[in-house]
Amino acid sequence: MERFEGLIAAHFSPFDEKGLVNKSIIKPYVDHLVDNGVVGVFVNGSNGEGPNLTINERMEVAELFQEAAGDRIKTIIHVGHSSIAEARTLAVHAQEIGADAIASVAAFYFKPTSVSMLTDCMAEIASATPELPFFYYHIPSLTGVGMDMIQFLELGRERIPNLQGIKYTAPTLWEYQSCLEYAGDDFDVLYGTDEMLLSALVVGAKGAIGSTFNFAAPLYQKVIQDFRLGNLEEARMLQARLVEMVRILLAFPAIPAQKAVMKMLGFDLGPCRLPLAHSLSESDYTTLKNRLEAIHFFEELKAVAVL
């Protein structure tokens, strides 16, 4: 099994002022991700506003990111939907355009009520593309589905032949560690809480998927490098500064704030769609920039990027 190791950026979907997909910026956006050392892009997930896109738009965005990625970085395309039939359609499309893997959240309207039912739902989606690696996207804060992931891996081993692993987006590090111990070399368990990356590395993480990797990947790469070299105090101090960055972002609507940071770096990805906040006000944009400058975020990012 080919492993997914390193940093994978969960992209933001770019829209123009009319709310339509901005095709022109995706190629330079992916070039930026490649230049910053990420190994993959997670397409149409939470930060990509996948649930806010139509099926046709999700296919269009997937095609654009797949084309831009080429063979430079891997693509994991999120196909989750409240309709399993629609999720299967998106899975087939992802395979047709050359995705490296697919992923799916649990249905978030009529929810599975047991680990066995969750596994059956994921098996139904994964079976649409039996040769394509499949990740379960565990994000209980958004889906409301929080179940024992060890049990899921146990049942998934039997019922989902192409199960690659889990995108684990939750702060329950003890369960994440248990998943890693159970998975061994059989599954990838990718961590998805950026502000806890160092802690995840300590318990054995090899790969991570995150939104702030879009603009702060060089700093996270330095955390990983320091950790691997045994420079634990340096890694701890840098992770603490990244936590402070996240704390600043969380004072604002999360996805609009992160899109604002991308704009500060030269990538105007446009507004978000309802029911998310449209974008930051001019006042909030300035406040966010000032707070990031006060912790020397942009200076540190520039310094690390040229190392």
Per domain, the residue ranges of the chain are: 6-229
The owner of tokens 């070299």 is 229
pTM over 0.85: yes
Return d(Cα 129, Cα 126) in angstroms, integer: 6
Catalytic residues: 137, 167
CB atoms within 10 A of CB 157: 15
Backbone angles phi, psi at 189, to 5 degrees: -120, 100
Q: How many residues in total does the chain contain?
A: 307
* pLDDT, tens digit, 9 for 90 and up, residues 55-90: 999 999 999 999 999 999 999 999 999 999 999 999
Topology (CATH) of 6-229: TIM Barrel (3.20.20)
Among residues 33, 39, 34, 37, which one has the least CA distance to residue 14? 33
Return d(Cα 191, Cα 255) in angstroms, integer: 19
Over the range 185-205, which residues count as b (16 or more CB within 10 Å of their CB) and which as e?
eebbbbbbbbbbbbbbbeeeb
* pLDDT, tens digit, 9 for 90 and up, residues 209-242: 999 999 999 999 999 999 999 999 999 999 999 9
* pLDDT, tens digit, 9 for 90 and up, residues 109-149: 999 999 999 999 999 999 999 999 999 999 999 999 999 99
DSSP state of 21: B
What mean pLDDT is predicted for residues 184-195? 97
Q: Which two tokens stand for residue 248?
A: 């600043």
